[in-house]
Structure 1
Amino acid sequence: MAEPEWLKKMNADEYLQEDFDAKGTSRYTVTGLDKKDPNWLAKAAKKVNAAEGDDYVKLDSGLLTVNQINWMLRSTIGELSFVDDNNQFLWYNRPADPKAKMKAKRVPEQVGNTMSDVHPHVADVIPEAKKVVHALRVNQDGHDDVYMPVPTGNLKELVLHYYKRVIDDQGNYAGIYEWVQDLYPLVKYFCETTGQKLVLDEDATTGATYKRNSDPDAASGASTKAEAAAEEKPAEPEPDTTSSASEN
């Protein structure tokens, strides 16, 4: 994935020290359980007497049942997941359709796993993941989020991984949530309703960035169907607007 310049400059001696085996504990760590246990979720919930089903949960700006929260998050656009400050994978918004194909596939049996266990041990996956986590943990250069586009060169597949630093009420690091989404359906709708279109930048080294329209006067930087249509037919006389409402 394309990596921001500020992230590339991180000190390897620091970020490689991230404990992806979650050997420590945080104030919310459920101890005494095997993190690799496929039944970790059920056992941990029982141990802490967790709310479930129609139990109410008071949030800082609402009151919902556990069921309502689950239903809402299953319907949320994109794939969400949460890893705590101890690098333990604790949650993801499981799709309502069990057959749904996920961009960053997760299964219930992984909940409770360490970051080391949920990432494939190939190439530089673990080191790069540690870099992102550590950067957000220490708030590197004031950054509290990381955008990672997945370069495909395909205008009909615009996958983005977004990582956000989560803090508690005192501003302390509490973990990271990740949002994964193919932006194409959103961009497609936007383009169809505005007449704009994406243009592939063949000079881009990653195949994932898109250049703006060469027209320096284009406010949005995108070419439009409306402009193309205007070039194909002569301009019509301007209507009399003296009695009409002002333009937006």
Structure 2
Amino acid sequence: MAEPKWLKDMNPDEYLKEDYEANGEAKAGTTIHGIDKDDPDWLDKAAKKVNAAEGNDYVKLDAGLMTVNQLNWMLRNTIGEMTFVDDNNQLLWYNRPIDPNYKMLASRKPSDIGNGIGKCHPKQATATAKKVTHALRTQPDGHDEVEMPVPNGNLKKLIYHRYKRVEDDEGNYAGTYEWVQDIYPLVKYFCETTGQKLVIDPDATTGATYRKNSDTDAVSGASSKETEKKPEEKPDTSTGASQHE
């Protein structure tokens, strides 16, 4: 992943202390005890233990009233892959895809629920993940979110990760909300409907990985020659053509 500089500069002696086995206690007192975190049936057993709402039971939210079914239906259809990890680094939820054949960019499965988040990361990614968690927990220089593109050398696959600090009503760290998406379809549609193009900046000092395998003739990946200045065009508000520069 392409890390922002402030994240790269963090002290590994601090962020590697993050307990990714979730052996601690959530400050909000919401940790469910007495069930093996690695139990593949953790969700059902934990829900039964706390008499969790389900099905057509209503849940009162801060700006709405919905059944559990309605929440599930809505979240399954929300764009992108979403995950919530509490302040104890325990994976509590993700929006399971409707399509069973869909291959998630950040792989999750129902049996992961209840696990320490360390179980959901490949070993080579654990240090970076801990860095993100620790950054959101401690907010160096006031940062409350981390954005990371994933360079892969392909302008038609723009993988984007966004991690957001979640706070309780008193402003204390309550966990991390992660959103992962291939934003290429969004960029492609935006370009096609506004008359703009995604181009390569030959003078850019970063993003070199993207330049090696790019399709320069693609609709959203036109040749870098498009960046050359052209005579000023009259605005065309119906297509956004005035933005072709």
**Tell me, what secondary structure is at the counterpart of 2:20?**
coil
- Write the distance in 1 (CA, Å) between the matches of 2:136 and 2:243: 45
Structure 1 moving runs of 4+ over 3 Å: 201-206, 208-218, 224-229
- Write the distance in 2 (CA, Å) between the matches of 1:25 and 1:106: 23
Partner of 2:147: 147
Q: Is the 8 A contact 2:151 2:207 kept in 1?
A: no
Question: Cα gap change, 1:215/1:31 in structure 2, threshold over 3 Å: closer, same or farther?
Answer: farther
**TM-score under structure 2 normalisation?**
0.84
- Write the distance in 1 (CA, Å) between the matches of 2:41 and 2:186: 37
Q: Is the 8 A contact 1:167 1:175 kept in 2?
A: yes
- Write the distance in 2 (CA, Å) between the matches of 1:3 and 1:37: 34
Partner of 2:192: 192
Q: Percent identity?
A: 63
**Tell me, what secondary structure is at the counterpart of 1:162?**
strand
Which of the numbers 104, 120, 123 marks the counterpart of 1:121? 123
- Look at both structures and tell me which one has the larger radius of gyration over its CA atoms: 1
**TM-score under structure 1 normalisation?**
0.83
Partner of 2:214: none
Partner of 1:234: none
Provide structure 1 residue ranges, at least 5 long, that are not aligned to the other structure: 219-223, 232-248
**Tell me, what secondary structure is at the counterpart of 2:123?**
coil
Q: Is the 8 A contact 2:196 2:243 kept in 1?
A: no
CA RMSD of aligned residues (A): 2.6
Provide structure 2 residue ranges, at least 5 long, that are not aligned to the other structure: 212-220, 233-238
Q: Is the 8 A contact 1:2 1:206 kept in 2?
A: no
Amino acid at match of 1:84: D
Which of the numbers 83, 86, 92 marks the counterpart of 1:84? 86
Q: Is the 8 A contact 1:149 1:208 kept in 2?
A: no
Deviations 1:88-130 (A, max 9, x none): 01100001111112111211011011011111123xx111111
Shift of 1:216: 10
Shift of 1:205: 4.7
Amino acid at match of 2:40: P
Shift of 1:46: 0.3
Shift of 1:200: 2.2
Map residues 27-42 of structure 1 onto 2, 5 A cutoff: 27-42=29-44
- Write the distance in 2 (CA, Å) between the matches of 1:214 and 1:82: 44
Partner of 2:16: 16
Which deviates further from its counterpart, 139-148 or 67-76? 139-148
- Write the distance in 2 (CA, Å) between the matches of 1:187 and 1:167: 31
Shift of 1:48: 0.4
Map residues 1-248 of structure 1 onto 2, 5 A cutoff: 1-26=1-26, 27-122=29-124, 125-201=125-201, 204-208=206-210, 213-215=227-229, 226=241
**Tell me, what secondary structure is at the counterpart of 1:188?**
helix
- Write the distance in 1 (CA, Å) between the matches of 2:31 and 2:76: 25
Which deviates further from its counterpart, 26-35 or 209-218? 209-218
Q: Is the 8 A contact 1:155 1:200 kept in 2?
A: no
